Amino acid sequence: MRRSILPLLLLLSALASVAGGAVWFIQRDRQALVEQFGHERQAQLQEATRGVAEALEDLGDDLRFAGELLAQPGSPEEHRRELRALLEAVGQYRAIAVYGPDGREQMTLVDRRAQLMPREPAHASALTEMARQALELPQDRIVPSPPVADATSKWMRVFATRLPAEAPGGGGAIAILVDTETFFAPLRLMTADENTRLLLLGFHGRPSPLSAPEVATWYQRLGESAGNQVPGLRALAARMREGESGALMLGEGEARRLGLGPADVVATFMPIRMRGEASWSVAMLSSTSALRSHERLLVLRLSLAALLVALFLVTFGAYVVLANRRAVALRESRRHADRLAHLHEKTQKILDHIPTGVLALTDGGRISAVNQALRTRLPPSALGSTLSEAFPAAPPPVVRRLMDLVAATREDGRVSSLHGEPLNLFGEKGQYNVHVVPLEHSDEEVRTLVVLEDLSNVRMLEDQLLRAEKLATVGVLAAGVAHEIGTPLGIIRGRAEYMLGKLGGAAHPQGRGLSAIIGQIDRVSRTIRQLLDFSRFQPAEARAVFLAPLVRGLEELMQVEADRRRVQLHIEVPEHLPALAADADQLQQVLLNLVLNACDACSAGGHVRLSAFPAREDPPGAQGRLELCVEDDGSGIAPEHLHQVFDPFFTTKKRGQGTGLGLTMVAQIVRNHGGQVEIDSEPGRGTRVTLRWPVAAPSWEEQRHAV
């Protein structure tokens, strides 16, 4: 009996010694635990501030991008449209204002979604004040304002920077009114712990609304005599204002005053930098009461460890017996799991390699999975978001249609579809087939599938095929008409000239009529020649052609035509542009047609500009393109006629002044060279025709072609 009790006593004494030693060890190394606790809080704070810093960096990039937009050549209306697009693309931006070098306001854009913004006088004064401060700083510096008084939000701030000297007017400043509440959303998650308080100081050293009320109140009283009661907070505030990072310990008494209970407080702090400069500073004050509870819990666990060891020995034998039985079941389960994993991988690969977009919705209407075809077109944060968040560029009515389709499918359990619908899902109109497929109700993560089939490319190919068939038909018809009409017209003209000669010229009473006949026949002959040129169009033999010498060869002819129409011609073609892959003769024909059309559209005293520059956005893998622009300030084209300007025989000129084949030939030549042609026009403001022409491949022999 004693022999059986002795080992048990030895075991209990050993366990008691281990427990006592563990308690002593915990008490001795409590400081190490506190330091580890501080490092963990520091890492947590660093992770939260990273998201805030990225949001501020994005704001800085947007300011720099807006400055570059304003530095680009263009009319004020174009700059207004570009800034309007930036304002509407970022939900936190409420207003954008542009000021000249003298600090005077040149342009102000207000977010249409913010109903109260135009009525807040504090916003306008804050925009003006920060723009004037930015004019006194270097170009790359961004200056934020203190919180702007607002009836609806305490997070409104103005960020301003100086514009480049290349901007119209010689520089200036741009200011953006921003609702910064969502920028600091990652920090809000840290305030959920009741043992944690947050202190967020703005650029001007004031506590933000995110700060804990007790901490913010004591921070504002640091300048008073009451500030001596919180020396740790005073030291923390000083280091935060210096832009430092680190950790401080605050005693129990100070913790009570700050509302953190009777325990030491670990204060971790770090700056939030914007473009390399300390703009904000955040501190997280965490009570160590959880460490004390952890210590007591650990002692209790060590005391119970002996009982657990005894229980473990009893259950271990039973476990060995059951383990063999479970091994068989586990092997079978593993085989099924491998099979399911294989099927899942195969399904995922199939979904990722089909061109149709597929996304899965949870029972709560959030996206749980997206295939590759749709993942590249959605924001990176699409997973876990709603349909409205996943399609930020789509108008609300379009998103509402998708949500109604999902709701209808869940209600009746049947597939709901939209066929060939014009939807603006990704910032541009396109045609889509949309299918919403219900799945098993048991899986809450994948409750519904939304299939988006983009028909835009199919419709574009169909339009191109119809246009090609139309052009081919017109070409055959033109050749037949030209052949059948050309010969009789030649005979008629010869007879008319013969009779005019017999009558003694135009002085005869019938001479004017015969001269009119000859003139009209010549006009018809010119139309026939254009028809023949259209029907005999040959594929381009592209070679390396330098644009500047070619334009110089055409400049005299274009200038003569412009002078005849009393129009001012401006040519801006730099010498250093790369060579184009083009047929020189056809390229001349394109430029001449576009310039003459622009001159015809202008009244006396109008302006026509021919310019060229590298394309701003080249498609992936392309060799590069040049943009050739011909723009005028003439009468413009009505919106209902824009889609017809490249059709054969369509013209907006007066009867008898055009055949309607010029722009058709231009479009045919550009597309035959692998380029693109776009036209942008507004009645009363003029027309801009843009050609995106491929440059010559590096392997081609580069040589200048005389024109």
Domain ranges across the chain: 58-180, 193-287, 354-451, 460-535, 543-694
Residue burial 417-442, b: 16+ Cβ < 10 Å; e: rest: ebeeeebebeeeebbbebbbebeeee
Q: Has residue 702 got a pLDDT over 50?
A: no
Cα dihedral across residues 388, 394, 400, 402: positive or negative:
negative
pLDDT (average), residues 677-692? 88
Distance between CA atoms of residues 184 and 201, nearest Å? 12
User: Residue 568 pairs with which residues in a beta bridge?
Assistant: 607
Tell me how many degrees the CA angle 77-78-82 measures, rounded to the nearest 5: 115
Region of 505 (left: φ > 0; alpha: ψ -120 to 50; beta: rest) is left
pLDDT (average), residues 410-418? 82
Residue with tokens 């270097």: 138
Task: State residue 704's pLDDT score.
Answer: 43
- What are 104-149's pLDDT values in tens digits? 888 888 877 655 444 567 788 888 888 888 888 887 788 888 888 7
**Which of 301-305, 346-350, 491-495 bottoms out in mean pLDDT, i.e. has the lowest?**
301-305
pTM strictly above 0.85: no
- What are 2-18's pLDDT values in tens digits? 444 555 555 556 556 65
Q: Has residue 61 got a pLDDT over 50?
A: yes
Q: Has residue 179 got a pLDDT over 60?
A: yes
CB-based contact 661:534 (threshold 8 Å): yes
Instruction: Out of 3.20.20.70, 3.30.565.10, 3.30.70.580, 3.40.630.10, select the CATH number for domain 543-694.
Output: 3.30.565.10
Distance between CA atoms of residues 657 and 642, nearest Å? 19
Q: What are phi and psi of 509, to 5 degrees?
A: -55, -30
- What are 421-445's pLDDT values in tens digits? 777 777 777 778 888 888 766 567 7
Q: Has residue 629 got a pLDDT over 90?
A: yes
Task: State residue 593's pLDDT score.
Answer: 84
Tokens of 289: 């009461």
Distances (CA, A) of 593 to 236, 627, 663: 73, 17, 7
Distance between CA atoms of residues 253 and 251, nearest Å? 6
Q: Detail the DSSP E strand segments found in 511-646.
A: 543-545, 568-572, 580-582, 607-614, 625-632
CATH classification code of 460-535: 1.10.287
Amino acid identity for residue 416 in this structure: S
Tell me how many degrees the CA angle 47-49-51 measures, rounded to the nearest 5: 80
Give me the half-sphere count of Cα atoms (radius 13 Å) on the Cβ side of residue 303: 7
Q: Has residue 488 got a pLDDT over 90?
A: no
Task: Report, at the CATH architecture level, how domain 193-287 is classified.
Answer: 2-Layer Sandwich (3.30)
- What are 20-45's pLDDT values in tens digits? 665 565 566 566 777 777 788 888 88
- What are 325-337's pLDDT values in tens digits? 788 788 888 888 8
CB-based contact 640:685 (threshold 8 Å): no
Task: State residue 424's pLDDT score.
Answer: 79
Helix, strand, or coil here: 501?
A: helix
CATH classification code of 354-451: 3.30.450.20
Q: Has residue 697 got a pLDDT over 70?
A: yes
Q: Sheet with 173-179: list strands edge to edge.
A: 105-110, 93-99, 173-179, 156-162, 142-144
- Rounded mean pLDDT of the chain? 76
Task: State residue 530's pLDDT score.
Answer: 60
Distance between CA atoms of residues 683 and 636, nearest Å? 4
- What are 499-525's pLDDT values in tens digits? 777 777 666 777 767 777 777 777 677
Amino acid identity for residue 575 in this structure: E
CATH classification code of 58-180: 3.30.450
**pLDDT-derived band of residue 275, with 50, 70 and 90 as boundaries?**
low
Cβ neighbours around 700 below 10 Å, total: 13
Q: Detail the DSSP E strand segments found in 442-511.
A: 448-454
**pLDDT-derived band of residue 707, with 50, 70 and 90 as boundaries?**
very low
Q: Has residue 409 got a pLDDT over 80?
A: yes
CB-based contact 100:169 (threshold 8 Å): yes
Distances (CA, A) of 161 to 169, 193, 330, 372, 553: 16, 38, 65, 39, 45
CB-based contact 172:137 (threshold 8 Å): no
Q: Sheet with 265-274: list strands edge to edge.
A: 196-201, 277-287, 265-274, 246-250
% of the chain with per-residue pLDDT over 90: 2
- What are 280-310's pLDDT values in tens digits? 788 888 887 766 666 666 556 655 664 665 5
Helix, strand, or coil here: 628?
A: strand
Task: State residue 386's pLDDT score.
Answer: 86
Residues 6+ apart with CB under 8 A from 517: 492, 493, 496
- What are 536-549's pLDDT values in tens digits? 555 667 788 898 88
Evaluate whether 193-287 and 460-535 have a shared fold: no
Task: State residue 631's pLDDT score.
Answer: 92
User: Residue 158 pairs with which residues in a beta bridge?
Assistant: 177
Task: State residue 536's pLDDT score.
Answer: 54
